[in-house]
Chain A
């Protein structure tokens, strides 16, 4: 891996992250801390993403639902082409996840992802199938460089909604860039192979999004203020994933105590 060149390119991003962290005072809203100084821009990007979801993702998700691929499947049933693309794309992300596991001081998770990569790349025919999960109980330990930054004590920073990608934070957006630039598979491959691998991973993400499109559509198209709802749900889930969730609020001790009156 050539570290020096990408590292130089990342300088401005770290600077932006540091600045974003202190742009405005975060406030408590609906029981969680929300730091959203760029709300105006974020809302415009959200409207764009919502449009993309309605015109591109939802029709695909509906067709999938019709074909039955969106339903929970029996592990013994044969998998469809959609699931194969999702599997193969996810498989290519495993070496990067293993590196992040090591950087976070979680060698167990790193080893698990690497073993999974070894089994599925060979027995699983370049990751199309998932014998590691189905037969050996080697499930994925999902992680990324955003989680590594969190493990290193970097603050979350401002909430961001990214075009096409969706909800993120300054810390996670930085993590995405680092993951992309330093990815082991990207750095080993070159030329056409590299583009093909990248395309497969994008297709995999789109496939997963379409598969769970039902729940996503429910929130996006069914909420009174879908921007606030997505922001809240995403932040709660992400903080839970990273072990950063605070004490849950108690409606009985809240500003309104129904038993007080």
Chain B
């Protein structure tokens, strides 16, 4: 950071004035720079986080294991790279507030397996393709990491990852594939399942264990 403005100022200013001005400039500069550098650091860390997650997903896809083993591995990756807690809470909506902790924990666990299977099935179609992390930018209170999935014999797909450190650790909490938002669609799906279970979160958890 360089502050050149005071140097070009007229010499008729007194020393006090100049020092005051310098201080003001430096202060304003710092204020402007601080959130920026904090963001720049977050953006870089978020990007690296997604790069590691993508690398792990690819190792699993290309290992060519049977579907059940593969889904278990995807679930494991999800538990280490995603904020499953906030995803499960957001998908459940307002009902999450009234759910006792033990019941919520059971639902959260079922949700993790369900997402691992459901999206693992989609990822299996990516065999022989590659995902390239193309950029990252701050968005609202989080960081959006952009990537492109190059699929064989199909047009490339845009995949965006939303990453936050508000859980205390850097974790992704949403994936947007060609504009289709995972949390939005899961929120609709979970609401429909919950309605079918007449509002019972325990029933929902039991159904999620079979679904996906």
Contact = CB atoms under 8 A, between A and B. Distances in A.
A31 B184 contact: yes
Contacts of B191: 30
A251 interface: yes
Contacts of B89: 251, 256, 258
A255 B129 CA distance: 38
Contacts, number: 117
Contacts of A215: 122, 125
B188 A229 contact: yes
B93 A75 contact: no
Interface string B168-200: 000001101011110111011101110110000
Contact of A251 (B86, B125, B154, B180): B86
Interface in A236-255: 236-241, 245, 247-255
B140 A245 contact: no
Contacts of A24: none
A241 B127 contact: no
Interface residues of B, number: 48
A78 interface: no
Contacts of B173: 251-252
A183 to B, nearest CB: 23
B86 A31 contact: no
Contacts of A74: 152-153
A29 B187 CA distance: 10
A200 B193 CA distance: 41
Chain A's interface size range is: 35 or more
A31 B152 CA distance: 32
Nearest to B129: A72
A237 B178 contact: yes
B87 A251 contact: yes
Interface in A1-48: 29-32
A228 interface: yes
A56 interface: no
A251 B88 CA distance: 10
Contacts of A29: 188
A228 B192 contact: yes
A218 interface: yes
B181 A248 contact: yes
Most buried by B among A74, A225, A251: A251
Interface of A: 29-32, 72-75, 139, 214-215, 218, 222-225, 228-229, 232-233, 236-241, 245, 247-256, 258-259, 261
5 contacts: A236-B184, A236-B185, A238-B179, A252-B86, A256-B93
Given A31-B187, A224-B193, A250-B142, 15 more contacts: A31-B184, A72-B125, A72-B127, A215-B125, A222-B211, A223-B192, A224-B196, A229-B185, A237-B180, A240-B178, A248-B174, A249-B184, A251-B87, A251-B174, A252-B166
